[in-house]
Amino acid sequence: MNTTSLGRQAEAAVAKYLEDQGYKIIDQNWRTRRCEIDIVAQKDDTAYFVEVKYRVSDNQGSGFEYITPTKLKQLVFAAGVWVAANHWDGDWQLMAASVAGDKFELIELVEIN
C-alpha cells in the first residue's frame, strides 16, 4: 500500500472519530494550487482545520513531531484561504491529529494555538 493510500485511510479514520465526538465534517482533502487541508470540521460555530499525520508505530516519534513550524505556517495560510473562499464568519481553530497502528486505531487530537 502506498503512502497516499495510507494517508487517506488515516484521514478517514480521523473524520469518523471527529463525527463520533459530535463534529460535522465540512470538507476533506480540500485543495487549491497553493495549499491543502486534510479535514475541515465544525462543532458549534467553530471550524476546525485538521492536519492528519500517520505513523505505523511511534518508534520514530508521534505524528505530532512531524508538524513543523513550516507546516504550521502552511496550515494557517490554507485556513485563511478556506475561510475567504467559503465566506466563513465564525470562529476557527487549528487542530492536529496523530494516527498510529496498522488499523488506524490510535488517534490523538490536539488544538493548536
User: pLDDT band at 40, cuts 50/70/90?
Assistant: very high
Query: Does the pLDDT at position 48 exceed 80?
Result: yes
**Residue 2: what pLDDT?**
65
- Beta-carbon count within 10 A of 28 CB: 17
Edge-first strand order for the sheet with 46-55 is: 24-31, 36-43, 46-55, 91-100, 106-112
The more confidently predicted of residues 2 and 68 is: 68
- Mean pLDDT on 10-23: 94
Average pLDDT score over the chain = 89
- Which domain, by its residues, includes 62? 3-112
What average pLDDT does the segment 35-42 reach? 97
Tally of domains within the chain: 1
What DSSP line would sit under 35-99, residue for residue? -EEEEEEEETTEEEEEEEEEESSSTT--GGGG--HHHHHHHHHHHHHHHHHTT--SEEEEEEEEE
pLDDT digits (tens, 9 = 90+) for 79-107: 999 999 999 999 999 999 988 877 787 78
The mean pLDDT value for 63-79 works out to 89
Give φ, ψ of 12 to 5 degrees: -65, -40
Give the domain CATH number at 34: 3.40.1350.10
